[in-house]
Amino acid sequence: MSITIQEIGPDRFAQYGGIPSRFEVRSILRVEVTGAGLGGFQLVEERIDQPFVRDYDQDSEDNPARWASRFDVRRWGILLGTSNAGQPVAGAAIAVEPPIFPMSRFQRADLAALWDIRVDPEHRRQGIGSQLFRAAAGWARAHGYGQLGIETDSSNVAACRFYARQGCVLGAIHRFGYVGVPEVAAYAMLLWYLEL
């Protein structure tokens, strides 16, 4: 399926936020440690007994409709993908100087972060995510950024596979990255990077 992708402003963030951002967790990537970490880490996919749904928009504070009131989004790239009928079906947000630890000032000066990417569940597995990812990388490149960084957690196996297919490389595994966030404290923080 082909979509039309355009950059939008805050007046359309509610449309973006209307696209569900949820996925079913059937497995996780467990971090195996060798030699207290000196021998390396290995991610091992492990099925879970009781699959569940993770909904990133469950917390209304994180909904895209609130981004403009929470963050300085003037330099961000917010992309909306619409179907031929004009229905919003996908979105991507590229954050510049994102206010999150793993992609903050400790990274490269020319790093932009893929803050959010979502495809309506009814429109998945049609190549829309890849179109949107390419558009997000293109936006970052066109605005002078040399690297795109992405954070996800070890419960989002499908996203990890997606990023690998897009040419991203896993740059860091932070086993305790979410220790202060109870709902995801059991998962590892995974940082992906794409050279632009």
Which tens digits make up the pLDDT trace of 101-130? 666 656 788 999 999 999 999 999 999 999
Model confidence, pTM: 0.93
- The Cα 10–Cα 166 span in angstroms is 28
Six token digits for residue 37: 């970490």
Residues 6 or more apart whose Cβ sits within 8 Å of residue 187 = 28, 153, 154, 155, 178
Q: What is the mean pLDDT of residues 173-178?
A: 93
Q: Where do the structural domains in the chain lie, given as residue ranges?
A: 4-195
Are the CB atoms for 114 and 94 separated by under 8 Å?
A: yes
Name the nearest CA neighbour of 122 among 92, 93, 91, 89. 89
Which tens digits make up the pLDDT trace of 126-135? 999 999 999 9
CATH fold of the domain at 4-195 = Aminopeptidase (3.40.630)
